[in-house]
């Protein structure tokens, strides 16, 4: 059974200051829709309708976004403006939302560990909303759910990355199972070009089996003094099986200004103008 999806959103979004001083970076809009809504829509399309946010200070706007605003609804009821709310109303109807706090920013691994109280003892999806993934067919998380049904193990999405970018990611080594799928044998967080075991970088989509929680608890602090998900995933790969999947679609790094602008232009031309 796979129905839950975690969204770690406790990060400060420092690269977007001052815009993110009082507003979560996940609420930055790509044209007329906040980043986080694209990500939640991808999860719903994949059948993961129980949405759990791991939040931090200053993230209240996300909660308000996925809740009914009665005053606003009343104000625009019966006017031509009602249709502007249709797409978020649909999301609110189709999914359930729960929230927990990450008390201290101790890294992505710690954020996921805090999410255990929302997902319990089941396999679950993880989406980093600042990676926007678009696909003309089934979304990236949907592709991964299909794979999970077949292989029943942890799956990470990977993308071939140019050398000058590789130091920003977790990078895998693996045995090729088929042209788009690898069984992971090694993983290094933010390697130098010389250390990188391949050009396959992990991006912000995961399906995790629940044994990851125990592994995270056993994982010592890693790079940058943070609890690194990559380190726990390596332990999982060594103990059992982790697959790396080269997804079909296009990814934009909306955590960086350049990626965010590229995504905005793409969404405006290809989604907004055609809707």
Give me the residues that bind ligand UTP (CB under 6 A), please.
Answer: 8-15, 25, 54, 102, 105-108, 110-111, 128, 130, 255
Q: Least distance to ligand UTP from the beta carbon of 274, Å?
A: 28
Looking at the Cβ atoms of 106 and 248, the one nearer to ligand UTP is 106
* Least distance between ligand UTP and beta carbon 127 (Å): 9
Looking at the Cβ atoms of 50 and 130, the one nearer to ligand UTP is: 130
Q: Can you give the chain as a three-state secondary structure string? A: CCCEEEEECCCCCHHHCCCCCCCCHHHCEECCEEHHHHHHHHHHHCCCCEEEEEECCCCHHHHHHCCCCHHHHHHHCCCHHHHHHHHHHHHHHHCEEEEEECCCCCCHHHHHHHCHHHHCCCCEEEECCCEEEECCCCCHHHHHHHHHHHHCCEEEEEEECCHHHHHHCEEEEEEEEECCEEEEEEEEECCCCCCCCCCEEEEEEEEECCHHHHHHHHCCCCHHHCCCHHHHHHHHHHHCCEEEEECCCEEEECCCHHHHHHHHHHHHHHHHCCC
CB of 202 to ligand UTP, least distance (A): 11
- Smallest gap from residue 229 Cβ to ligand UTP (A): 9
- Whether omega for the bond prior to residue 18 falls within 30 degrees of 0, making it cis, is yes
What is the closest distance, in whole angstroms, from the C-beta atom of residue 77 to ligand UTP in the complex? 35
CB of 224 vs ligand UTP, minimal distance in Å? 9
* Nearer residue to ligand UTP within complex by CB, 129 or 237: 129
Q: Which is nearer to ligand UTP, 170 or 255 (CB)?
A: 255
30 contacts 134 by C-beta, under 8 angstroms: no
**50 vs 253 by CB, closer to ligand UTP:** 253
Q: Closest distance between ligand UTP and the C-beta of residue 160, in Å?
A: 20
Give residue number: closest CB to ligand UTP.
11
111 or 155, CB closer to ligand UTP?
111
CA distance 94 to 50: 9
Is the Cβ of residue 9 or residue 242 nearer to ligand UTP in the bound state?
9
């Amino acid at each position: 059974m796979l129905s839950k999806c975690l969204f770690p959103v406790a990060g400060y979004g420092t690269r977007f200051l001052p815009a993110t001083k009082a507003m979560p970076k996940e609420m930055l809009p790509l044209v007329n829709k906040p980043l986080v809504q694209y990500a939640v829509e991808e999860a719903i399309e994949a059948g993961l309708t129980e949405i759990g946010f791991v939040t931090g200070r200053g993230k209240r706007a996300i909660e308000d976004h996925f809740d009914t605003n009665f005053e606003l609804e009343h104000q625009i009821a019966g006017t031509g403006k009602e249709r502007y709310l249709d797409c978020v109303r649909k999301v609110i109807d189709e999914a359930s939302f729960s929230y927990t706090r990450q008390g201290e920013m101790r890294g992505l691994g710690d954020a996921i560990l805090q999410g255990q109280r929302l997902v319990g003892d089941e396999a679950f999806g993880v989406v980093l909303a600042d990676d926007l993934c678009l696909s003309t067919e089934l979304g990236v998380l949907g592709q991964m759910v299909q794979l999970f049904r077949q292989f029943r193990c942890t799956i990470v999405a990977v993308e071939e990355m140019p050398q000058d970018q590789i130091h920003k990611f977790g990078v895998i080594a693996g045995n090729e199972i088929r042209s788009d799928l690898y069984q992971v044998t090694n993983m290094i967080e933010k390697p130098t070009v010389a250390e990188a075991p391949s050009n396959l970088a992990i991006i912000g989509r995961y399906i995790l089996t629940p044994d990851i929680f125990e592994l995270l608890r056993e994982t010592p602090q890693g790079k940058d003094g943070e609890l690194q998900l990559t380190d726990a995933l390596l332990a999982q790969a060594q103990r059992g099986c982790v697959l790396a999947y080269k997804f079909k679609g296009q990814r934009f790094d909306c955590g960086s200004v350049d990626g965010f602008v590229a995504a905005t232009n793409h969404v405006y031309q290809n989604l907004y103008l055609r809707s």
